[in-house]
Structure 1
Amino acid sequence: MGMLDELDHGAWELRERGAGGAVHRVCLENGRQLIQLKHPGLSCSSVVVEDEANSVTVQYTCRGRGYGRTHIRRETNRLVQIESQGIVNGLPFLLAEEGRKVGSCRN
Structure 2
Amino acid sequence: MIRFKTVLAGGFAAVGVVLAGSIAAQAPQPVNLLASLRDGQWELRPHGGPVAQRLCIRGGAGLIQLRHPGKVCDRLVLEQTSRLITVQYTCKGSGFGRTQLRRETSQLIQIETQGVAEGLPFEYAAEGRWVGECAKSAP
TM beyond 0.5: yes
5 Å-filtered alignment, 1:6-45, equals 6-18=36-48, 20-45=49-74
Note if 1:84 corresponds to 2:113.
yes
Once residues 95 and 82 of structure 1 are traced to their aligned partners in structure 2, the CA distance between those partners, rounded to angstroms, is: 8
5 Å-filtered alignment, 1:53-72, equals 53-72=82-101
Note if 1:95 corresponds to 2:124.
yes
Equivalent residue pairs, number: 106
Task: Structure 1: give runs of 5+ residues left out of the alignment.
Answer: none
- Secondary structure at 1:33's aligned position in 2? helix
Percent of aligned positions that are identical: 51
1:28 positional shift: 1.3
Once residues 102 and 93 of structure 2 are traced to their aligned partners in structure 1, the CA distance between those partners, rounded to angstroms, is: 28
- Which structure has more helix as a fraction of its residues? 2
1:21 positional shift: 3.3
Once residues 73 and 134 of structure 2 are traced to their aligned partners in structure 1, the CA distance between those partners, rounded to angstroms, is: 25
The runs of at least 4 aligned residues of structure 1 exceeding 6 Å deviation read none
Deviations 1:49-95 (A, max 9, x none): 00111000000000010000000000000000000000001000001
Name the residue aligned to 1:47.
76
Task: Structure 2: give runs of 5+ residues left out of the alignment.
Answer: 1-30
Give the aligned CA root-mean-square deviation in angstroms: 1.0
The structure whose Rg is larger is 2
Name the residue aligned to 2:16.
none
- Secondary structure at 1:50's aligned position in 2? strand
- Which structure has more strand as a fraction of its residues? 1
Higher relative contact order (CA closer than 8 Å, sequence separation 6+): 1
1:30 positional shift: 0.4
